Structure 1
């Protein structure tokens, strides 16, 4: 996240001593646990302090409000919620994409605060702007990768790279729900196959299955 997109603002107090740092860390851990369990709106600063075993006044010594605490947890992790960087010039694009998606979805599951974002986006224009900028950067990366693949003659000739880049983002962003909560779960491999069929003609995928990129170059 760039310096002009910092979401936390100025902290009331930044601890230097170990004891104070432990209290601040306890509040962060408490907020993380409660946001996961109850959601953002249903969690209060008082509850976070009580869960951390400190007074409510101690909470406000380190954080101006619960939003600042949450943004401290999210800062520099915003782009981890968005599609990963993908290589479109590889001798096994399906497997490569499936592996990237699996790692991406695992990171999101491990972090665990994905359910909080929709709550915030309804009322936090600043966060909406940061996510929009992050999505624009990811889109540019996908577009650039597809452009390189087109230069080598790997993708469909009539592919609208701008449109398909956004479509890939939507598929990948919604894939987490399909792999985790759908009645019939999709796999990362199935999502990767779908995306690759959008991007590459069958003849290219067929050649890649039995050969290396040198065969096509």
Structure 2
């Protein structure tokens, strides 16, 4: 009798396990990789039980010859971390990064459109850019726009060799502070936020400009 009960219990566990495995939802994601400014329209699909990802990286420079673009879509097998940040450095360099995660049929089909805003937000940062040394001989003042309300200092090194690839200062979104991540298939960037420029970098100007107002208030009070 005990042997019969054991067989029934074992059969029940087996049937439940098979049912659980077969009931795991599986769906398709768009699979696509583009490493140039003119991306091909051809795509394929992959099957997943986890989710889809959709990533866009764009590095704008003064010349389209030196611009970089990376678009990648597919299935993720472990975890996916959604993240969006941007930074505008000196010498007209701007980097935009966005990674989206979703969990439905072909939910990563639409291309990501890079956000853009030319509306000044009142923050001014020291700005420069250098690909040879971790310093800048010439620093300008950059008026930040849109959601880039933090001043940033960033260093980029090659992942495999740790050689310097870029160094710069400028404006960035708040989540770029204390950021360390790999971008553009081979560059590790490490960023930290720094103090903004006050009155174009000259605190004395603030005292001089406010002096006539203080004298006027004293005359009224006296």
TM-score category of the 2 structures, normalised to the smaller one? under 0.3
Q: Output the TM-score relative to the length of structure 2.
A: 0.23
Superposition TM-score, scaled by structure 1 size? 0.23
- Which of 1 and 2 has higher RCO (CA within 8 Å, sep 6+)? 1
